[in-house]
Structure 1
Amino acid sequence: MPAAERSPYDVLGITPAATPPEVHAAYERALAEADGTAAREACTTAYLHLRNTGRRLGADILEYAAPDPASTAREAFAGVADEPFLAPEAPAPPIAALVVLRRAESAADHHEPPPTKGTFAVPTRFSPTAEVLPPVDIPH
């Protein structure tokens, strides 16, 4: 069922849980309220779909079917190509600002002795001390 076409349930003003007598009553009510030939034809078509159990199952499947993933992705990313990723007026940061490690720390890592055989030695500057713990107030 195309997306522009109304659901037979919407045309008759009922829910998918409606019983056959409720479908018939809704059809008669919608037909009485319809103004114009197109509205009457829509009511009749909806009633024919919902009266027949095979067609009703088809309408239910099409109503609640998952949307097409390709069209959904196109709609979700429709405006992405229109906006620039980076603002053109923002200058790029200098390479020196992107360096995270300091030379002294990296040099200290290279001067520490390698791990001994079979065990891994934690460098002394990374050993746990009381300085790394936050201060704690002891209640009296």
Structure 2
Amino acid sequence: MPAAEPSPYAVLGITPAATPPEVHAAYERALAAATGTVAREACTTAYLHLRNTGRRLGADILEYAAPDPSTTAREAFAGVTNEPLPTPDAATPPIATLIPLRRPTTANDHREPPPTDSTFATPTRFAAGADVLPEVDIPI
């Protein structure tokens, strides 16, 4: 069912939790209140959708389905499209300005001596020692 059509639940004035007898009663009420051929056809179409279990499941899925991703993305980025995009000719910053962005601890890790054998070398500041253990009070 296209998204432009109203929900069959809204046409009949019921909730998705309505039982088949409630759907039938709502159909009769809506049909009696309908004036004109278009309104009667809408009531009949809604009733046929909700009377059939497979069609009702389809109506439920469409009722609670997520919106179309392309529309959602277009709405999410609506304000961004007004901003000019950077040109590829924009100058990249010199490397000297990017060096302070490195963490000093990373630089210290790279200053550690390389492993002498084929095992992994743990940097000195991460080496196991008693200074990393919390103090524990031992009762006497």
TM-score range, shorter chain: 0.5 to 0.7
Distance 2:12 2:22 in 1: 10
Distance 1:5 1:65 in 2: 15
Shift of 1:78: 2.1
User: What pairs with 1:59-74 in structure 2 (closer than 5 Å)?
Assistant: 59-74=59-74
Give the equivalent residue in structure 1 for 2:55: 55
Q: String of CA shifts for 1:61-99, please: whole Å, max 9, x gaps.
A: 1111122222211122223322569xxxxxxxxxxxxxx
Letter of the aligned partner of 1:23 in structure 2? V
Range moving further from structure 2, 30-39 or 66-75: 66-75
Distance 2:78 2:35 in 1: 39
Letter of the aligned partner of 2:70 in structure 1? A
Give the equivalent residue in structure 1 for 2:14: 14
Q: Sequence identity of aligned pairs in percent?
A: 87
Distance 1:23 1:83 in 2: 51
Shift of 1:8: 0.4
User: What pairs with 1:20-59 in structure 2 (closer than 5 Å)?
Assistant: 20-59=20-59
User: What pairs with 1:1-140 in structure 2 (closer than 5 Å)?
Assistant: 1-83=1-83
Shift of 1:2: 2.2
Unaligned runs of 5+ in 1: 86-99, 101-140
What RMSD, in angstroms, separates the aligned Cα atoms of the two structures? 4.1
Letter of the aligned partner of 2:2 in structure 1? P
Shift of 1:26: 0.5
Q: String of CA shifts for 1:25-80, please: whole Å, max 9, x gaps.
A: 10011111111111100000000000111111111111111222222111222233
Report SS of the residue matched to 2:63.
helix
Report SS of the residue matched to 1:81.
helix
Unaligned runs of 5+ in 2: 86-99, 101-140
Report SS of the residue matched to 1:6.
coil
TM-score, L = length of structure 1 = 0.57
